Structure 1
Amino acid sequence: MILKEELVFLNSLKEYPKDNNYEVIIKKMLLNIGVIDSELRDNLIYTTFSKLIVGGFLTEQNLRFVLTTILDDQHLFYKIGEKDSDSVFTRSFSVLLIPLLLTFNKKQNFLSESEILFIKDETLRYLNNEKDYRGHVPEKGWAHAPAHGADALNALAKCKLNSTCNLEILYAVKKIICTKETVFTNLEDERFVTAVVTILKENHFEREVMENWLDTFFDWDKSELWDEEYKIISNVKLFLGSLYFRLSNEQDYQEIAKIIQMKITEMISKYI
C-alpha cells in the first residue's frame, strides 16, 4: 500500500489505534514530508503528524526520533539557502512540526530545558539562513517558510524561556521583517506578531528595551535602489501596524502601542 493510501485509510478510522506501532509510518512520512503533492503533504502527512503528536499516540522514543530527524541536514536544513526550488517544502514542513512537539511537551514534559534551548537555537539558525520567502506556489501549494517559522517561534515563546532568549527571538523577527528580498503578502506579518505578543505577555521588558528593539526596524543599509527600499518600508509598516492594532486592545500594552504609533507616523512622514 502506498503512503497516500495508508494515510487515507488511517484517517478514515473513527479513532487512531492507541496500541499501534507507528514507527514505520512515521519514517515514511518524514521521508516524504516535502513532496510537491500538496494533498499528501498538507492534508495527509502534516494532519496525521498533528493528530499523532498532539493526541498522544506516540511514545517518547517516537517523539524524539521525529525531533532529531526534522532538525537534521535532510530536513530543516535541506539545501538551505536555495531559492525558488522545491527543497523549501521539506524545510518549511519540518519546522511546522516544532509547534506540535512543543505543544505536546506542555502536557507530557518529555523535553529537558537544554533540549528546548537547542530547538530554539536551531529554529533561529534556520530562519537566519532561509532565503525562500514564497507563500503559495502554483500547482504545489503553500511553501510559507517564514510563516511556519513564526509558528515555531510562537510555540517557543510559550516555553517559559528567559528574557535573554526571548530577546533573541524578537531580534530574529526584526531581521526577517527587514528584508529587501520580498514584500510579505500572505499574512506573514500576523504570524510574527502573534509570536511577539506571546513574548510580551510572558516577559516584562523595560520601556527602553522595547524602544531600542523598535528602533532597529528603521536601521538598515540605505541605498538609492528604491524598489528594494520600498520592500523593507512596506514590510516594516505592515508588521508594526499589525503589532500596534493587536496591542492597542490590550490594557497592559498601551504604552508600547503608543511608541509604535509614533514610530509608524515618523516613518510615513519620512518616506511617503
Structure 2
Amino acid sequence: MKREAYMIEDLLKKYKNSTSGTSEMLDRLLTEMLENIGHTDSHIRDQIIYNEFCQILLNNSLNREQISKIINQCIKNLSFNIGETNTDSVFTRSFSILFLHAIICYDNQSIILSERDFNKIIKNSLHYFKVEIDVRGWVEDKGWAHAPAHTSDLIVECIKSRYFKKNLVNEILEGINSNIFKLQLNSVCYIDDEDIRMSMILVSLLEERYITEKEVGIWLAKLKDYLETGASKKIEYYRKTKNYTDFIRALFFQTERFKYLQKNIKILLK
C-alpha cells in the first residue's frame, strides 16, 4: 500500500481514537483527503477516502466552515485539466463530483446547506456535465472514472432538493443532450450503464413534476432528428446512434408509470 494510504489511515485512526482536539485532526484529515481525491489507486480513492468521507458526513462531524471548504475545493477541482482525455485527471474531477453528491444527499435528509451553497453546486456541476470529454467508465488497473454517471447521480439528488428551481430544467436537458453524443477514445460508445444513470435524471424530473411526459417525448424526437441530420456511414455515427438508442431504451424501462411517454418511445425505436 502506498504512502498516501498509510498517512490517511493513520490520521483516520488518530481522529477516531481522539477525545480532544478532534476538530484540528479532522481538518488535517480532510486536507489530506482532498489532496488525494483523484488518487489512481482505487483502494485509496474509493475505500479509504470516499467511503470514510461519507461516514464522517453521516456522523454529523463537519462544521459549517469545513463543509464550505470542501464544496469550494471540489468545485475548483471540476476545472482541473478539463479538456484532457484518457489521462488520470478525470479521477480528480469525477470524484469531486461524488463528494458533492454525498453532500447534497445528506442535505436532502438533514438540511445543512444554504440556497447559495446549493446554487453554487448545481451551477458548476451542470457546466462540468457539458464540458467533460473524458467519458470512460471502468479504467483498467485504476477503477471507475465514470464522470457522466457520477454527475447524473448528483443531478438526480439536486432535483430532489428543496432549493431546486424549474428554470434549471433546460440546462439539464442540454447536458444530457451533450453527453448522449459523446464518445470515448477510438469512438467507443457507452458500455458501463451510463445510459441508465442519465435516464434517471429524466425520471426524477417527471416524478417531481418539473417536466411533462409530452415535453420529454418532444425533446427525445428532436434529439433523433438532430442525430439523423448527421447520418453517415462513419463508425462515429453508428456509435452515437447506439448511445441514443440505449438511452431511450433505458428510459422506457424506468418509466412504467408514464404510459404516454412509453408509447412515444416505442415509436422512436421503430
TM range (shorter): 0.7 to 0.9
Structure 2 counterpart of 1:100, from 90, 99, 102: 102
Counting matched residue pairs gives 259
2:235 alignment partner in structure 1: 227
Structure 1 residue 168 displacement after superposition: 2.2
SS of alignment partner, residue 255 of structure 2: helix
Residues of 1 paired with 2:230 and 2:139: CA distance?
31
Q: Can you list the C-alpha shifts for 1:183-219, whole angstroms capped at 9, x where unaligned?
A: 1000111111222211211115344422221123211
Q: Can you list the C-alpha shifts for 1:5-60, whole angstroms capped at 9, x where unaligned?
A: 254457779x7869722111101110011111111011111111111123312112
Q: Relative to 1, partners in 2 of residues 1:54 and 1:217: Cα closer, same or farther, differing over 3 Å?
A: farther
Partner amino acid for 2:250?
Answer: S
Q: Can you list the C-alpha shifts for 1:140-184, whole angstroms capped at 9, x where unaligned?
A: 111111111111111111114222213321331122012355310
- The answer to whether residue 51 in structure 2 is matched with residue 51 in structure 1 is no
Residues of 2 paired with 1:205 and 1:135: CA distance?
29
Partner amino acid for 1:61?
Answer: E
1:168 alignment partner in structure 2: 171
1:120 alignment partner in structure 2: 122
Q: Relative to 1, partners in 2 of residues 1:206 and 1:46: Cα closer, same or farther, differing over 3 Å?
A: closer
Give 1:33-112 correspondences, 5 Å limit: 33-72=37-76, 75-112=77-114
Instruction: State the TM-score, normalized to the length of structure 2.
Output: 0.87
Partner amino acid for 1:24?
Answer: R
SS of alignment partner, residue 263 of structure 2: helix
Residues of 1 paired with 2:241 and 2:55: CA distance?
40
Partner amino acid for 2:263?
Answer: K
On the 8 A contact 1:174/1:216 being kept in 2, the answer is no
Q: Relative to 1, partners in 2 of residues 1:76 and 1:18: Cα closer, same or farther, differing over 3 Å?
A: farther
Partner amino acid for 1:256?
Answer: L
1:270 alignment partner in structure 2: none
Q: Relative to 1, partners in 2 of residues 1:18 and 1:108: Cα closer, same or farther, differing over 3 Å?
A: farther
SS of alignment partner, residue 61 of structure 2: coil
Residues of 2 paired with 1:46 and 1:93: CA distance?
8
SS of alignment partner, residue 113 of structure 2: coil
- The answer to whether residue 217 in structure 2 is matched with residue 214 in structure 1 is no
SS of alignment partner, residue 184 of structure 1: coil
Taking only aligned residues, the RMSD between alpha carbons, in angstroms, comes to 2.3
Give 1:199-210 correspondences, 5 Å limit: 199-210=205-216
Structure 1 residue 223 displacement after superposition: 4.3
Runs of at least 5 residues in structure 1 that lack an aligned partner in the other structure: 266-272
Partner amino acid for 1:187?
Answer: D
Partner amino acid for 1:243?
Answer: L
Instruction: State the TM-score, normalized to the length of structure 1.
Output: 0.87
Q: Which piece of structure 1 moves more, 116-125 or 155-164?
A: 155-164
Residues of 2 paired with 1:215 and 1:173: CA distance?
14
Q: Can you list the C-alpha shifts for 1:116-145, whole angstroms capped at 9, x where unaligned?
A: 122111011111111111111111111111
Structure 2 counterpart of 1:247, from 232, 242, 255: 255
SS of alignment partner, residue 245 of structure 1: helix
Runs of at least 5 residues in structure 2 that lack an aligned partner in the other structure: none
On the 8 A contact 1:183/1:231 being kept in 2, the answer is yes
1:268 alignment partner in structure 2: none
